[in-house]
Chains A and B, each alone.
Chain A
Amino acid sequence: DIQMTQSPPSLSASVGNRVTITCRASQSINSYLNWYQQIPGKAPKLVIFTTSSLQSGVPPRFSGSGSGTDYTLTISSLQLEDFATYFCQQTYITPHTFGQGTKLEIK
């Protein structure tokens, strides 16, 4: 299985800050990397697919980049509704493993 390692596990930031979350795969995943946002008690929501494509309806302050084994999710100017847990997922090879999550909290 491909292991997905996210960092940091948690992050405190303020409204308006720029934040970056990192995801590292145990082998190359050829840009098949997706990011999800989950608010407690709700289903996950797709934010970015295949590294850098913005899912419909997601604000452009979200962006993704990366290649090979290393990928990042950036939120350019945090809004209140962005405080949530973020998960990466590789869809290059089954099992389509998830990272362990990054909890983004208000400072």
Chain B
Amino acid sequence: EVQLVQSGAEVKKPGESLKISCRGSGYTFITYWIGWVRQMPGKGLEWMGIIYPRDSDTRYSPSFQGQVTISTDKSTSTAYLQWSSLKASDSATYYCARHRSVGGTDGLDVWGQGTAVTVSS
């Protein structure tokens, strides 16, 4: 079964760092683009960026460029989303998702279960 399994919920303080993960299984991890999507409470979906695990080619939304870092570890089939200094406005649920074809130009067909991040003093 093709699946993405994300790390668990996090509660952090402003200024702290965080790295959440998304482990793929059931398919050849390096050949499909993986994306990250933010959903703030009660709001819509925001595209953050995508990464191609084979060569780590990464594209960011201008809204998130410089605010987060997307990476992968091919040896463990895991994608990561990290912050160096969290803000309260980073509180949201973060989803990873896989593009359904190797070209990365069609839909996101496999989604992780989401990681809820709460940033509060």
Binding site for B on A (CB under 8 A): 1, 32, 34, 36, 38, 43-46, 48-50, 53, 55, 87, 89, 91-92, 94-101
Q: Is the CB of A32 within 8 A of B114?
A: no
Binding site for A on B (CB under 8 A): 35, 37, 44-47, 49-50, 59-63, 95, 97, 99-100, 104-109, 111-114
Q: Which one of A44, A48, A94 contacts B95 once the chains associate, using CB atoms below 8 Å?
A: A44
For this complex, 10 residue pairs linking A to B, each with C-beta atoms less than 8 Å apart, are A34-B108, A43-B113, A49-B106, A55-B107, A89-B45, A94-B50, A95-B59, A95-B62, A96-B47, A97-B47
Q: Is the CB of A46 within 8 A of B107?
A: yes
Q: Is the CB of A44 within 8 A of B45?
A: yes
Q: Is the CB of A89 within 8 A of B111?
A: no
Q: Is the CB of B50 within 8 A of A87?
A: no
The closest CB in chain B to the CB of A1 belongs to B62
Q: Which one of A46, A96, A100, A101 contacts B109 once the chains associate, using CB atoms below 8 Å?
A: A46
Chain A residues contacting B49 (CB-CB under 8 Å) are 95
- Rounded to whole Å, the gap between the CB of B34 and the closest CB of chain A is 12
- Rounded to whole Å, the gap between the CB of B33 and the closest CB of chain A is 10
The closest CB in chain A to the CB of B110 belongs to A46
- Rounded to whole Å, the gap between the CB of A44 and the closest CB of chain B is 6
Q: Is the CB of A34 within 8 A of B107?
A: yes
Given A32-B106, A34-B107, A46–B100 Cβ distance below 8 Å?
A: yes
Q: Is the CB of A95 within 8 A of B61?
A: yes
CA of A36 to CA of B109, assembled, Å: 9
